[in-house]
């Protein structure tokens, strides 16, 4: 179980690193001219971050997390803290999907959102991470 837990934590760290960095890239990307060399560089950075790090890390996080719950019964679906954590992880996964959609919009030079929008969005993964960690460590209910 400790190997699975370790791989789960490593996967989450990689996923969160991307979830915190990708919106920040989008903040800067939204301010550059479409089709510029700088815009093309951001497109490459965003695509590689999403495809090579974030998505594999998200999939691994889900696999190892479900393995812990279903294989080792580290939590029950009736535990209040676990349900809140699960909702947080589902929201984080939804955020991942939203960011994936934004990467596609930038790649096609069809982004219509402002840098200010991405600055605000950049806070969502942090808030979800705080909720999830508190649920797992403190288990307040």
How many beta carbons lie within 10 A of that of residue 112, not counting itself?
Answer: 7
What pLDDT is recorded for position 82?
A: 97
State the Cα–Cα distance between residues 16 and 57, nearest whole angstrom.
9
Residue set of the binding site: 8, 85
Q: What is the mean pLDDT of residues 44-48?
A: 98
- The answer to whether the beta carbons of residues 19 and 54 sit under 8 Å apart is yes
Residue set of the binding site for heme: 8, 85
Percentage of residues in the chain having pLDDT higher than 70:
100
């Amino acid at each position: 179980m400790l190997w699975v837990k370790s791989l789960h934590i490593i996967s989450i760290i990689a996923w969160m690193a991307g979830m915190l960095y990708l919106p920040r890239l989008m903040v800067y990307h939204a301010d550059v001219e479409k089709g510029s060399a700088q815009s093309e560089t951001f497109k490459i950075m965003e695509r590689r971050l999403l495809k090579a790090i974030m998505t594999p890390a998200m999939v691994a996080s889900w696999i190892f997390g479900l393995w812990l719950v279903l294989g080792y019964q580290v939590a029950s679906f009736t535990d209040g803290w676990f349900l809140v954590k699960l909702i947080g992880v589902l929201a984080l996964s939804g955020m991942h999907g939203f960011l994936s959609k934004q990467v596609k919009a930038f790649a096609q030079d069809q982004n219509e959102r402002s840098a200010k929008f991405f600055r605000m969005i950049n806070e969502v993964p942090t808030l979800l991470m705080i909720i999830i960690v508190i649920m797992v460590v403190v288990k307040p209910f």
